[in-house]
């Protein structure tokens, strides 16, 4: 039955594609344009580039249905003309102003039509102006009439100058074609990682553009920021590094008081506060999620995680011998807890040099990995309280 349901005439899908097209197109242009310029979205037009030398390019972006063609009276073109007229007038109307107007559309234009005059450079500006007047005269719509009236307020010289600044880019790449084009701009990135780098760059870009739009599109987006971010993301994929994705992230809920996982029970055995246990739960979550992300992207070499865990266990065992050296069978619970806390504090605060790779310095990786090792079932690979394993063995015996 669902196969028989056609798209609603009120569907917002086309408009949604238009918004995503704007995001992706602007990212592609940011990668193509030289550093030094700035970008604006929804300030004077859909996309606006201000070059380092002051040249302004205002672009209207139109993501149309497959196979659609623009006619001479196409609303997409003439509504853009109205926007550009406002910008042109605001700029001072005089010739020589550093502003250009571009219609970027996925539709096609017939070269022998009026709009075909805007497909290339070197066209006769007088011819464009004359043909524009003829085309506008063919329509009696209220929108077209208003645009014609606004054009009539310009002198002939200003009209020629205005139309001479307009160009149309037809058959632009569609939204689903843009990722491949963006990836082609990432040639400095290892081919194996280009898709992952693109996804991370696009995710960052969506946040940048969203914040830009929430702020009213007033503050510029510096193209150099895109170059810097791309460089930083690419660096994370070098052989001595790994991407860090979960800094500042937490599970949906953290209940230190009722969590029954083994690594949490280990911390309770030391008498740690709920706040310290809460931080341990977050470190566990971040490290677990990060390792899963690395695995999904196939970023880890063979046995890398296993070898890393072996290093941590060996270093833990060395320090455990020091921290628990004075603990005997007759030692008090207070002394055991003190030794266990010293061992745990070492693992939390003095193991920054135990990195999975040289430039992976984020503390939650090593801290969270220790929590994971303390959670191995049925027998944790590390423990803190000197007598925890004995207690665990008794619990397991009772359970059996």
Position 28 scores a pLDDT of 98
Domain count, the chain: 2
How large a percentage of the chain has pLDDT more than 70? 93
Confidence of residue 6 (pLDDT cuts 50, 70, 90): very low
Residue 163: strand, helix, or coil? helix
Region 108-127: mean pLDDT is: 87
Residue 5 has pLDDT above 60, yes or no: no
Half-sphere exposure of 87 (CA within 13 A, CB side): 26
Segment 244-258, tens digit of pLDDT:
999 999 999 999 999
297 versus 16: the higher-pLDDT residue is: 297
Q: Would 66 be classed as within a structural domain?
A: yes
Burial of 134 (0-12, 13-18, 19+ CB in 10 A): exposed
CB 280 within 8 A of CB 263: yes
Residue 353: strand, helix, or coil? coil
Position 15 scores a pLDDT of 66
Q: Which two tokens stand for residue 129?
A: 């102006």
Q: Would 373 be classed as within a structural domain?
A: yes
Q: Which of 142, 177, 212 is the endpoint of a domain?
A: 177
Q: Do residues 30 and 148 share a domain?
A: yes
Q: Do residues 274 and 171 share a domain?
A: no
Residue 136 has pLDDT above 70, yes or no: yes
Q: Which of 150, 177, 204 is the endpoint of a domain?
A: 177
Q: Would 299 be classed as within a structural domain?
A: yes
Q: Would 204 be classed as within a structural domain?
A: no
Q: Would 281 be classed as within a structural domain?
A: yes
Q: Which two tokens stand for residue 368?
A: 């969270």
How large a percentage of the chain has pLDDT more than 90? 85
Q: Do residues 28 and 164 share a domain?
A: yes
Residue 4 has pLDDT above 60, yes or no: no
Q: Would 308 be classed as within a structural domain?
A: yes
Burial of 386 (0-12, 13-18, 19+ CB in 10 A): buried
Element spanning 131, H or E = helix 125-137
Confidence of residue 398 (pLDDT cuts 50, 70, 90): low
Segment 208-249, tens digit of pLDDT:
999 999 999 899 999 999 999 999 999 999 999 999 999 999
Q: What is the mean pLDDT of the chain?
A: 92
Q: Do residues 23 and 160 share a domain?
A: yes
Region 157-182: mean pLDDT is: 95
| Rounded Cα distance, 244 and 361, in Å | 9
Position 396 scores a pLDDT of 67
What residue numbers bound the domain in which 276 lies?
A: 262-399
185-192 LR contacts (CB < 8 Å, sep 24+): 185/28, 185/31, 185/32, 186/31, 186/230, 186/234, 188/234, 189/234, 189/237, 190/237
Q: Which of 143, 177, 211 is the endpoint of a domain?
A: 177
Q: Would 215 be classed as within a structural domain?
A: no
Position 11 scores a pLDDT of 43
Q: Do residues 17 and 155 share a domain?
A: yes
Q: Do residues 275 and 150 share a domain?
A: no
Residue 390 has pLDDT above 90, yes or no: yes
Position 81 scores a pLDDT of 96
Residue 96 has pLDDT above 50, yes or no: no
pTM for the predicted model, two decimal places? 0.81
Q: Would 276 be classed as within a structural domain?
A: yes
CB 258 within 8 A of CB 268: no
Position 262 scores a pLDDT of 97
Confidence of residue 110 (pLDDT cuts 50, 70, 90): confident
Helix pair angle (156-163, 75-91), 10° resolution: 120
Q: Do residues 292 and 146 share a domain?
A: no
Segment 45-82, tens digit of pLDDT:
999 999 999 999 999 999 999 999 999 999 999 999 99
| Rounded Cα distance, 86 and 88, in Å | 5
Q: Do residues 171 and 23 share a domain?
A: yes
Q: Do residues 288 and 169 share a domain?
A: no
CB 367 within 8 A of CB 347: yes
Q: Do residues 172 and 283 share a domain?
A: no
Position 95 scores a pLDDT of 44
């Amino acid at each position: 039955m669902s196969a028989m349901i056609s798209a609603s005439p009120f569907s917002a899908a086309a408009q949604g594609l238009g918004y995503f097209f704007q995001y992706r197109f602007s990212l592609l242009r940011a990668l193509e344009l030289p550093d030094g310029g700035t970008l604006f979205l929804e300030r004077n037009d859909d996309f606006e580039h201000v070059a380092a030398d002051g040249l302004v390019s205002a672009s209207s972006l139109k993501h149309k249905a497959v196979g659609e063609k623009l006619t001479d009276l196409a609303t997409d073109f003439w509504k853009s003309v109205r926007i550009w007229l406002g910008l042109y007038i605001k700029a001072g109307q005089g010739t020589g102003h550093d502003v250009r107007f571009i219609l970027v559309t996925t539709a096609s234009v017939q070269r022998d039509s009026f709009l075909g005059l805007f497909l290339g450079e070197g066209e006769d500006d007088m011819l464009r102006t004359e043909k524009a007047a003829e085309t506008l005269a063919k329509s009696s719509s209220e929108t077209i009439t208003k645009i014609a009236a606004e054009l009539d307020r310009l002198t002939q010289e200003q009209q020629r100058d205005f139309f001479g600044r307009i160009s149309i880019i037809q058959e632009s790449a569609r939204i689903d074609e843009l990722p491949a084009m963006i990836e082609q701009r990432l040639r400095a990135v290892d081919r194996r990682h280009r898709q992952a780098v693109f996804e991370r760059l696009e995710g960052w870009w969506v946040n940048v553009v969203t914040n830009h739009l929430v702020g009213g599109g007033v503050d510029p987006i510096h193209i150099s920021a895109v170059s810097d971010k791309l460089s930083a993301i690419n660096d994370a994929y070098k052989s001595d590094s790994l991407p860090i994705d979960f800094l500042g992230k937490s599970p949906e809920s953290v209940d230190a008081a009722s969590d029954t996982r083994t690594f949490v029970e280990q911390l309770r055995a030391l008498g740690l506060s709920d706040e310290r246990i809460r931080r341990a739960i977050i470190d566990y979550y971040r490290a677990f999620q990060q390792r899963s992300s690395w695995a999904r992207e196939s970023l880890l070499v063979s046995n890398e995680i296993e070898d890393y865990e072996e290093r941590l266990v060996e270093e833990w065992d060395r320090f455990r011998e020091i921290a628990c050296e004075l603990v005997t069978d007759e030692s008090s619970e207070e002394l055991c807890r003190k030794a266990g806390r010293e061992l745990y504090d070492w693992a939390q605060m003095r193991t920054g040099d135990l990195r999975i790779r040289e430039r992976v310095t984020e503390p939650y990786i090593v801290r969270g990995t220790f929590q994971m090792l303390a959670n191995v079932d049925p027998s944790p690979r590390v423990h803190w309280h000197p007598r925890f394993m004995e207690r665990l063995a008794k619990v397991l015996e009772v359970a059996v």
